[in-house]
Amino acid sequence: MRSRRVLRYLNLAIGAALAVVLFLGYWWAWRPLARTSGTFPAPVGGVVTIARDRLGVPHIEAASLEDLLFAQGFVTAQDRLWQMDAMRRAASGDLAELFGAAALASDQETRRMRLRRIAEEHARALPPADRAAFAAYARGVNYFLETHAGRLPLEFTLLRYDPRPWSLADSLVISLQMFRTLTRSWRTELRKQNLLEGGDAAKVDFLFSIHAGGPEPPGSNAWVVSGRRTASGRPILANDPHLEWTFPSIWYLVHLKAPGLNAAGASLPGLPGVILGHNERIAWGITNLGFDVQDLFVERFDPQTGHYVEGGRKEPARLEREVILVRGSQRATVFNWITRRGPIFIAEQGRFLSLSWIAAQPGAFEYPFLEINRARNWQEFRAALARLAGPPLNFVYADVDGNIGYQVAGKLPIRRNYRGDVPADPAKATWDGYIPFEALPSVFNPPSGILVSANQNPFPENYPYPVNGRFAPPYRARRIREWLERGSRWRVPDMLRLQTDTYSPFAHFLARELVAAQARKKSRNPLVAEAVQLLAPWDGRMRRDAPQPMIAELAYRHLRTAVAERAAPGKGLLYDDLMAPAVLEVLLRERPAGWFADYDDVLLDTLADALEEGQRLQGRQMRRWQYGRYQMLRLTHPVLSRLPLVGRYAGIGAVPMEGSETTVLQVTAELGPSLRMVLDLADWDHSLVTLLSGQSGQFLSRHYKDQWRAFYEGRGLPHQFRRVEVKDVLRLTPER
C-alpha cells in the first residue's frame, strides 16, 4: 500500500512538473507567436491587408505608402523582433549589456568605428522622402512593441530585458552594419603591413596584388540571361548573396503593394522596402563590389595633448567618450580621438592609425531602394542607383520588355598618391573626390545575352581612374559564364542547378599539378602515392561524401602557407586571402625563379604534410575520408541554443557541407549562400526563392526553419506574386 501511495505521489509530481513546463512553454514561447488572422486596430489611414502564404511570407496591401511601410515594420517585428534588436545592438556596440564581458571586445571595436554616432548624424540629414519612409517603418515596429508588452519573444524573457523603442537611427545603424560587413579592407591592409615587416616586399606585394581580396568581405553570385537564351523567350535573373552564416537568416521575404508600388523579394529586418527582388516590370540582383572604401593613415599623434600633425601644424583632435554597459560587471569606457580623416582606430606600440571610411562622410547616406522598388525601366533604375552612397555594389537587371543590364553603384574614392596600402604621410595621400556615377562600369543588352557578377574585378585595364579593391578570383564568374554559354533554352530549374554547382576549377587544377609532380618525381611516400591515385581520375567536384575534395583542400592550405613563408618567414599562417588560389595558380603555371628551387618538391612535400593532418582528423584509411565531415556547418542561436534539452533544436547542425570558396556554391566555415533566388520574367509565379532557415525567428513557429531542408538539398520554393496561396489573413483597421 505504501509503495502504491509513493508511486501515486510520484506520478502526480511528474504530472504537475510537466504541467508547469507546458504552461511556461505556452506562456513564454507560444503566446508571443505572430498573430496572423483576424482584425487588429492600428494607427493607419485605411485597411491594410496582410495575407500570409504557406511559407509565412506576408503579402501586404495598403492604400498608401505610409500605411504599407508601417505594416512592414509591424509584421517584421512580429517575426524577427529579437533579431532586429540584436542587430542594432551589434551595430551600436551594445552587446555586452546582454552577454557580458564575452562581447566587450566586439563592442569596443564597434564603438571605435562610431557606427551609432554616424547613424545619428545621417538621420539628421536624411532627405525628406527617405525620412518619411524610415519614420513610417519605425512607427510600425513601435506599435507592435506597444501592443505586445508582456508577450515578447522568448529571448527577451530569458535575458530579462525589454527592448527600447525603434528609431530612424536604429534602421540606419543596421544599414551601416551591412556596409561594415561588406567593406573590411582595413584588416587586409594591417595583415599586409605585418607581412611586409621583415618580409620580401616584392613577394608580399605579389600575394596582395591589386586584384586581391581579403577573407572578410563576403561574396555573392548574380547573373542574368536574355530571352534569346531561355526557353520562354524572356530573361531569367538569378541571385544568391553569400554572407556570413547567421541564424535565423539575415533576409526576410516580403511582398509590398500600394499605389505605384508592387514589389516582392528579400528585405533586411529593420529596413523598409525590398532590397533584392522584382516588381511588375523589372527584376534586380546584388553582389558585393569589393572596391576599397576604407583607408588607414599613419598619424603623428600625441595622446598626452590630443594633438596631431596636419600640414606641418599641430591640430587638436576631438575627444569622444563612449560608455559600454557590461552585464555582471562594471562599465567600460572607450575614448575616441577624432582627426580630420577619422577616428584614431588603432593605437599600439606607439603607432597611431586613423580610419577613413566612405560611410562616415557627411551626406554619405541616401536610401534609393524604394525608388528601385518603383522603377519601371533601365533609365529609372539607374537614376535610383545614382543615389546609392554605399556599400559599393554590383547590380544585375532585367525587365519584361526583354532588356538586361549591369551597373556598379556607390561612392568610390579617387585616391591620390597611394594605392590603398597604409600611407606613411597622410598629408600627401588623400581622397580626391569620387568616381562620377556615369563613369562607373555599366552594360546594357550585351550581344552575348549574358551578364555575370561574382565579385570579380569589373574595371577594364584602361579605366581612367585608380582602382583598388578586394576583388574575388575569376573562378566562379568564369564557371558561370562557361555554363551559360553552353545553352540557349535555359529554364528556372537550370539556374538553380547552377547555383548549387560544386565544381572547383582551382582544386581540379591543383589536383592535376599534384598528379603531374608525382609522375615526374616518383615520391616513395606511400601516402602521397595513394592520394595521387585517388586524385588522378577525380572530376574536381567538391562533394561532401568524397575524399578527394578534402585532400585537395588540405593540400591547398599547406601550399598557401609554404608560399607565404617564402614571402615573409615565420608568418605564413597569417596569409589567408581570397585571392590566394589565383596567386598559387599563377606561381604553379609560371614557376618563376626566386620562390622555390623545385616546385614539384614543394608540391609533394606540402601534400605529405596535408595527408598527415588528414589522418589526424579522419583516420588512416584515406578512401574513407569525407570532405563534408571536414567542412561541417553548425548554426547556433545565440540565446536559445543554451537552453537544456531543447537547445539542440534551436539551431542547425552539425551537417556536412559541399562546395568551397572557388565553387559557384561558395561555402566556407564563415560564409555561404544566405538565400537563393531565381526570377522568371516570363511568369513571376514560376520564380523560386529559398531562405537559409525560415521566415520566423520564433522558436515554436512552424516557419522557424521550415525552409532549411529545401535549402540544404538545393531545391527552390515558390516565390508567389500574382497567384498567392493564402493561408492566413490579418487586417489592420483604422483606430476609432
Q: What is the DSSP string of 242-308?
A: EEE--SS-S-EEEEEEETTEEEEEEE-TTS-S-SEEE-SSEEEEEEE--B--EEEEE--EETTTTEE
Residue 408 has pLDDT above 90, yes or no: yes
Cell readout for 278 is 522584382
The model's pLDDT over 358-378, given as tens digits with 9 standing for 90+, comes to 999 987 789 999 999 999 999
Helix, strand or coil for residue 644?
Answer: coil
SS percent in the chain: helix, strand, coil, step 5: 40, 25, 40
Burial, 729: exposed, middle or buried (Cβ in 10 Å; 0-12, 13-18, 19+)? middle
**Positive or negative torsion for Cα 190, 191, 195, 198:** positive
The model's pLDDT over 242-280, given as tens digits with 9 standing for 90+, comes to 999 999 999 999 999 999 999 999 999 999 999 999 999
Any idea which residue has 514560376 for its cell? 686
Which of 385-394, 537-546, 572-581 has the weakest average pLDDT? 572-581
**Rounded to 5°, angle at Cα 607 from 621 and 476:** 100
Predicted confidence band at 21 (pLDDT cuts at 50, 70, 90)? very low
CB distance 398 to 224 below 8 Å: yes
CATH architecture of 186-216+507-663: Orthogonal Bundle (1.10)
DSSP 8-state assignment for residue 215: S
Helix, strand or coil for residue 110?
Answer: helix
Q: Which amino acid is at 244?
A: E
Across residues 661-667, what is the average pLDDT?
A: 95
Helix, strand or coil for residue 166?
Answer: coil
Measured CA to CA, the distance from residue 501 to residue 629 in angstroms comes to 19
Q: How far is CA 417 from CA 153, 325, 340, 423, 424, in A?
A: 53, 42, 18, 9, 11
Question: What percent of the chain has a predicted confidence (pLDDT) above 90?
Answer: 78
pLDDT of residue 425: 61
CB-based contacts of 163: which residues, under 8 Å, 6+ apart?
81, 85, 145, 152, 156
Beta strands in 114-244 (DSSP E): 220-225, 236-244
pLDDT of residue 22: 47
Measured CA to CA, the distance from residue 494 to residue 492 in angstroms comes to 5
For residue 629, which phi and psi values (nearest 5 degrees)?
A: -70, -25
CB distance 531 to 502 below 8 Å: no
Domain ranges of the chain: 1-31, 36-182+218-501+670-736, 186-216+507-663
pLDDT of residue 362: 86
Residue 214 has pLDDT above 50, yes or no: no
HSE-CB for 633 with a 13 A CA cutoff: 23
Across residues 112-117, what is the average pLDDT?
A: 96
Across residues 133-144, what is the average pLDDT?
A: 98
Across residues 60-88, what is the average pLDDT?
A: 98
Residue 7 has pLDDT above 70, yes or no: no
Residue 211 has pLDDT above 70, yes or no: no
Q: What is the 3-state secondary structure (H, E, C) of 649-711?
A: HCCEEEEECCCECCCCCECCCCEEECEEEEEECCCHHHCEEEECCCCCCCCCCCCCCCCHHHH
Q: Which of 274, 287, 290 is nearest to 238 (CA)?
A: 287
Predicted confidence band at 13 (pLDDT cuts at 50, 70, 90)? low
Measured CA to CA, the distance from residue 515 to residue 538 in angstroms comes to 11
Residue 9 has pLDDT above 60, yes or no: no
Measured CA to CA, the distance from residue 310 to residue 313 in angstroms comes to 5
Cβ atoms within 10 Å, residue 148:
17
Burial, 23: exposed, middle or buried (Cβ in 10 Å; 0-12, 13-18, 19+)? exposed
Cell readout for 714 is 538545393
CB-based contacts of 370: which residues, under 8 Å, 6+ apart?
65, 129, 133, 261, 272, 273
Measured CA to CA, the distance from residue 137 to residue 72 in angstroms comes to 7
Q: Which of 471, 34, 49, 80 is nearest to 266 (CA)?
A: 80
Cell readout for 481 is 559564364
Cβ atoms within 10 Å, residue 277:
29
Predicted confidence band at 215 (pLDDT cuts at 50, 70, 90)? very low
Across residues 552-571, what is the average pLDDT?
A: 96
Helix, strand or coil for residue 194?
Answer: helix
**Positive or negative torsion for Cα 693, 695, 698, 701:** negative
The model's pLDDT over 420-475, given as tens digits with 9 standing for 90+, comes to 666 656 666 788 899 999 999 999 999 999 999 999 999 998 999 998 888 889 99
CB distance 651 to 641 below 8 Å: yes
Q: Which fold has domain 36-182+218-501+670-736?
A: Glutamine Phosphoribosylpyrophosphate, subunit 1, domain 1 (3.60.20)
Cell readout for 663 is 565553387
Across residues 283-312, what is the average pLDDT?
A: 91
pLDDT of residue 579: 87
* C-alpha distance across the termini of the chain, in Å: 65
Residue 83 has pLDDT above 90, yes or no: yes
Q: Which of 675, 673, 687 is nearest to 719 (CA)?
A: 687
pLDDT of residue 204: 92
The model's pLDDT over 697-732, given as tens digits with 9 standing for 90+, comes to 998 999 999 999 999 999 999 999 999 999 999 999
Residue 218 has pLDDT above 70, yes or no: no
Which of 13-22, 327-336, 359-368, 446-455 has the weakest average pLDDT? 13-22
Measured CA to CA, the distance from residue 233 to residue 226 in angstroms comes to 8
Across residues 54-82, what is the average pLDDT?
A: 98
Report which of residues 213 and 24 the model is more confident about.
Answer: 24
CB-based contacts of 293: which residues, under 8 Å, 6+ apart?
183, 185, 357, 358, 359, 390, 391, 392, 410, 411, 412, 413
